[in-house]
Structure formats: C-alpha cells, structure tokens
Amino acid sequence: MALVRSLTRDARSTSRPHPTEVDCRWQVIVGPHGASLFQLSTYGSDGRESEPKVSQTIQLDRDMAAQLVARLRETFDLQ
C-alpha cells in the first residue's frame, strides 16, 4: 500500500492473465500538502475465507495519474 512514485514499462513477457477477479473501489483523498490523491483499493477474491477486506491500495498523485492515463490511451488506442 503505497503512493506510486514511478511508472515504467516492464518488457518481460512472463506475465499472464490472473485466474481470479476482484472488486476495486476508488476514492479521492487529501495528501500531505493538501493535494488530491487518487486511491484504488482492491478487495479479496470470491474464494477468500474471511469477510471482504482491502487487499491492496495504491495512490496516484496528479503527475502519476497523467502518466497512467497516457499509457492507457496508448495501450487501448483511446482518444
């Protein structure tokens, strides 16, 4: 659970689609200097034995969000 500080393409070809799906919630929180942070929180898969709880959280500041949007547009050919 952390604030993303860099976004770099991983050229390795060893990754595969994950076998499970999870739910994700987003929210905007206020960072240390009053700047907005975009937060994504994922919850355990349906097969999890305990009740649903946050598994991972990432936070993006304005610059990282802009970089992510640019990479998503490139990847999915979005305008």
Average pLDDT over residues 11-34: 91
H or E stretch covering 65: helix 62-76
Range name among 16-25, 32-41, 43-52, 67-76 with the lowest pLDDT average: 43-52
pLDDT (0 to 100) of residue 32: 86
Is a pLDDT exceeding 90 seen at residue 68?
yes
Domain topology for 23-79: Transcriptional Co-activator pc4; Chain A (2.30.31)
Q: Which of 60, 67, 56, 62 is nearest to 25 (CA)?
A: 56
pLDDT (0 to 100) of residue 49: 66
Domain ranges of the chain: 23-79
The reported pTM is 0.84
Is a pLDDT exceeding 80 seen at residue 50?
no
Report the distance separating Cα 63 and Cα 22, nearest Å: 26
Report the distance separating Cα 42 and Cα 3, nearest Å: 15
What does the DSSP 8-state code read for residue 72?
H
